[in-house]
Amino acid sequence: MNAPQDKVEMVDLAIGGMTCAACAARIEKQLNRVPGVEAAVNFASERAHIRFSPQAANVEALVATVSKTGFTATVARDDTRAEEKARKEAAYRKELRLFWYSAALTLPLLAQMLWMFGTGAEMMAEPIPRWLQLVLATPVQFWIGARFYRGAWNALRSGGGNMDVLVALGTTMAWVYSTTVTLGGWHHQHVYFEASATVITLVLLGKVLEARAKARTSAAIEALIKLQPQTAHVERDGKLFEMAVEQLLPGDVFVVRPGEAMPVDGEVIDGTSSANEAMLTGEAMPVAKAPGDRVFAATVNGDGLLRCRATGVGAHTLLAGIIRLVEEAQGSKAPVQRLADKVSAIFVPVVVSIALVTFAGWWIFSGDFAQALVNAVAVLVIACPCALGLATPTAIMVGTGQGAKAGVLIRNAEALELAEKLQVLAVDKTGTLTEGRPVVTDIIPSMPAQGDRLLNLAASLEQGSTHPLAAAVVSRAKEAGIALAMPQAVTAVAGRGVAGTVDGIRVRVGSPAWFAADGVPVPAETKTLQERGRSVVVVTADDVLVGILGVADPLRATSREAVARLGRLGVEVVMLTGDNAGTAAAIAREAGIQRFEAEVLPGDKASAVSALKTEDDRARHVGMAGDGINDAPALAAADVSFAMGAGSDVAMQAADVTLMRDDLNGVADAISLSRATLRKIRQNLFFAFVYNVLGIPLAALGLLNPVIAGAAMAASSVSVVSSSLLLKNWKPGKE
């Protein structure tokens, strides 16, 4: 940003009036000139995503900046989405009407040209008098084509050029020449009314088709929005009232009947049922719901009646967060787009120069003014950079939308691009490879009949901890009906364990390595348990061994398959865990992982990720999959970070990619989607560049008629968008 500040705000503006990538580049340039502003303008989504310092700028100033550039801007919010869609639909209908008017006026001119071309008739045999050709072509040029003149004027006024400049300049040259010939009575000269009118008509057709295709690229967002229920059954004073979802407040109690969609996020307080959460996770299997479980807006209730308490309403539901995340990703720019942006910035001046050289060259060497003019017009028309501007953003919009459908939320286009390059994936063990819900499987006291005392001391000390192993110990003690004491002076040693006082006894609970370092002998059974994949918890009282607990966290059913898929994608999986080497080896063996690092403290995982990047003195792209919160330093150190099954705003902000399911297959899906999207982007850019690289020389050499050039230009934009839409064929679970 131009002027870094402590506080940064963000706003999205809906931009109206853009016709090509050059328009987006110009708006972006003007916005970024404002102190404290960092803006990215997306031509395909017609949005500007802006980060700004409130001390240096405000929303009104940003809107004014866009207006001065010659475009319209309104703040895009959740409550204005319907209004924005209606405005776009009205603009589309207007353009469609103008196209039909233009087509009706142009068709006689085009038919005459084709008739003369087919019969070889001379100019004197023109079936439509020239005065009538002038009458037909003039409203197309100046009424229907007025949008091109407005766009060109706004572009030139702000010191830039765009597609409108090329179209307006090319068609005006053809119309002025033809009008001069007609009014001057020079019947021996050709006229090109059909060229100017047909080019405008074809460009309008291209815009109409492009608008329809672009609307389909945001189909994923539209589908998510349509899922949001409009009403809810709210319980007040023991009675049910139907009210608009917008009126619900956190804490309100609502009832969801069988088959209905959840109106907002909430927590079940009464009833049992199941919910279809496929729209969030991509997983078709229903999820059981009971008191204490979370429910999410727009998920569908099964065959039970649920009473729930609202916890997230309006913009604070998980669905609203997903929509925001997808919109931000669709509006962001991938690094691969930088080349196209640089080309677009200088494209129009270069093309105008080529057209002038073409005109001068043909006039000087052939002496045919009309032919020189026609070839210059063809250069201007064929060179419109629409396809170049649509190549990247349309593919990103479709790709991120497909990811959202599959429960893979990609935060920005840069993450989507980098995921393709991953060579190594570091994974946390607990909650990523394993279920994340450990259970106590073995209780081995040092003295016979001391099992309850062992559980009592360990669970009493651990009851304040949020660590999964601690939760397993406390849960087992409660299942056994053991009363727990309140611990005193509890201190935690990261990656080691917990110490404190229970009923006046100094108790320590932790890993075998912690005690071994202090010279406390551990039972021989420790190694046996570790070899069986158990995490061992040692318990001492006043430095005397009380016993050990074996805790197992079962491997997820999908982890081995996911590791195999990643291997087929050429990605090496490396497990990082704080567990001992024996347990780590057992889990790695079960998951099919060849490399692992054991006894890695939480604070050292980031260093481990950094080391993987430069291993063997060669730079490698490394990803990290974890829970999105506890592994935050390691996630930040990775090139691309994946938060597993987060379902929370915190996790969505912590990672580059949020996986809505607790399944490592989501990482493989993200990499597969990234590769498919980048292939499509490169394909689009290749054809967009080739189209111009081949088209401009052909036009300059006199091998392209302006009418053919106009048709080709319109077709190129539509073909690029249609090509991007083929990404909808991508499905999760495939390499």
Give residue 670's pLDDT band: very low, low, confident or very high (50, 70, 90). Answer: very high
CA-nearest of 153, 151, 150, 142 to 200 is 142
Across 9-13, 156-160, 620-624, which has the greatest mean pLDDT? 620-624
192's tokens:
């090109």
CB 21 within 8 A of CB 62: no
- H helices of 69-128, in order, are 81-119
Residue the block writes with tokens 């990609």: 410
Alpha-carbon separation of residue 377 from 162, 175, 354, 432, 535 (angstroms): 16, 11, 11, 61, 76
pLDDT score for 182: 85
- What is the mean predicted confidence (pLDDT) over 169-181? 82
b/e sequence 219-240, b meaning 16+ C-beta within 10 Å: bbbeebbebbbeebbbeeeeee
CA distance 264 to 297: 4
Q: What mean pLDDT, rounded, does the chain reach?
A: 82
Residue the block writes with tokens 């077709």: 715
pLDDT tens per residue across span 225-284 = 777 788 899 998 878 889 988 888 899 999 999 989 899 999 999 999 988 887 676 666
Residue the block writes with tokens 């050990």: 548
199's tokens:
């080019």
149's tokens:
């003149």
b/e sequence 398-425, b meaning 16+ C-beta within 10 Å: bbbbbbbbbbbbbbbbbbbbbbbebbbb
Handedness of CA 31, 33, 38, 40 (dihedral sign): positive
pLDDT score for 123: 47
Q: Residue 87's Cα: distance from chain center in Å? A: 24
In the chain, count of helices (H) and strands (E)? 25, 26
pLDDT score for 115: 65
Judge whether residue 138 has pLDDT over 90.
Answer: yes
- What is the mean predicted confidence (pLDDT) over 700-719? 76
Across 17-21, 77-81, 118-122, 700-704, which has the greatest mean pLDDT? 700-704
Judge whether residue 19 has pLDDT over 60.
Answer: yes
Judge whether residue 121 has pLDDT over 50.
Answer: no
CA-nearest of 247, 631, 262 to 432 is 631
CA distance 562 to 555: 12
CA distance 246 to 514: 54
pLDDT tens per residue across span 64-120 = 998 888 888 888 776 666 676 777 777 788 888 988 999 999 888 877 766 655 554
Q: At what angle do helices 21-32 and 386-405 cross, to 10 degrees?
A: 80
pLDDT score for 6: 56
Residues noted as catalytic: 428
Q: What percent of the chain has pLDDT over 70?
A: 86
pLDDT score for 3: 42
Residue 132, classified by CB atoms within 10 Å of its CB into exposed (0-12), middle (13-18) or buried (19+), is: middle
Judge whether residue 473 has pLDDT over 80.
Answer: yes
Give residue 4's pLDDT band: very low, low, confident or very high (50, 70, 90). Answer: very low
274's tokens:
């199941």
pLDDT score for 221: 65
- What is the mean predicted confidence (pLDDT) over 516-530? 84
CA distance 252 to 4: 42
CA-nearest of 661, 731, 646, 556 to 278 is 661
The more confident residue out of 35 and 173 is 35
pLDDT score for 5: 44
Q: How many CA atoms lie within 13 A of 243 on its CB side?
A: 15
H/E stretch holding 232 reads strand 231-236
pLDDT tens per residue across span 632-659 = 778 878 899 898 865 455 555 667 888 8
pLDDT tens per residue across span 409-466 = 888 888 888 999 999 999 988 778 888 788 898 999 988 878 889 999 999 998 877 7
